[in-house]
Chains A and B, each alone.
Chain A
Amino acid sequence: KQEVTQIPAALSVPEGENLVLNCSFTDSAIYNLQWFRQDPGKGLTSLLLIQSSQREQTSGRLNASLDKSSGRSTLYIAASQPGDSATYLCAVKRNTDKLIFGTGTRLQVFP
């Protein structure tokens, strides 16, 4: 059974720091991995999607990497800003239709 773990559960950093969020999964047979952002009381916003054949994806200050063999993905946020404060979720998709979600990392960036 696929399990997805995110560490740390919470993170508080000063503005301007570069930071790394981690996502681990137990079954390397994935179709893709997706990173989401969720603001309090809101829906999920898709940030990046990495296909199983890819190693990384970049969007602006965000970079996500994927190492299937070790069952890990990282989300790198450069030059963090208070507006980056949110919960970040990763989710893996196997060849079935379901996404399996991690429990998230709650990020706070203070001025």
Chain B
Amino acid sequence: DVKVTQSSRYLVKRTGEKVFLECVQDMDHENMFWYRQDPGLGLRLIYFSYDVKMKEKGDIPEGYSVSREKKERFSLILESASTNQTSMYLCATASWGTTYEQYFGPGTRLTVT
């Protein structure tokens, strides 16, 4: 089974702090994704990466950056956290191949006060 883990289930940070969310997968998947999920807005793609050190902007990249130094690890960085970044953050992975099925981590509920 694919296992995707996220560094924290719940996180509380103050406005202006730099925040790191980490995602680790154990299935050697090339592709990794960061989404945020908000009531009424559904899931929105922030960034994705299809290879080590490669990244592509998703639909809402503003205020975020990412890092992928190793294949199994994809980090989301909030450079200066703001209250409108309070959300559920979900990491996902997928492999090239016939199915390209996405697998999700358990999520991190981030609150910025």
Give residues in A with beta carbon < 8 Å to B: 31-32, 34, 36, 41-46, 49, 51, 89, 91, 93, 97-99, 101-104
Q: How many residues of B are counted as interface, with CB atoms below 8 angstroms from the partner's CB atoms?
A: 24
**B107 and A32 contact, CB distance less than 8 A:** no
In B87-113, which residues have CB < 8 Å from any A CB? 88, 90, 92, 98-107, 109
Chain B binding surface, main DSSP class: strand
A-B contact count (CB 8 A): 48
Q: What are 23 A-B contacts with C-beta separation under 8 Å?
A: A32-B101, A34-B101, A41-B88, A41-B107, A42-B106, A42-B107, A43-B105, A43-B107, A44-B92, A44-B104, A46-B103, A46-B104, A49-B99, A51-B98, A51-B99, A97-B31, A97-B56, A98-B45, A98-B48, A98-B58, A99-B45, A102-B42, A103-B42
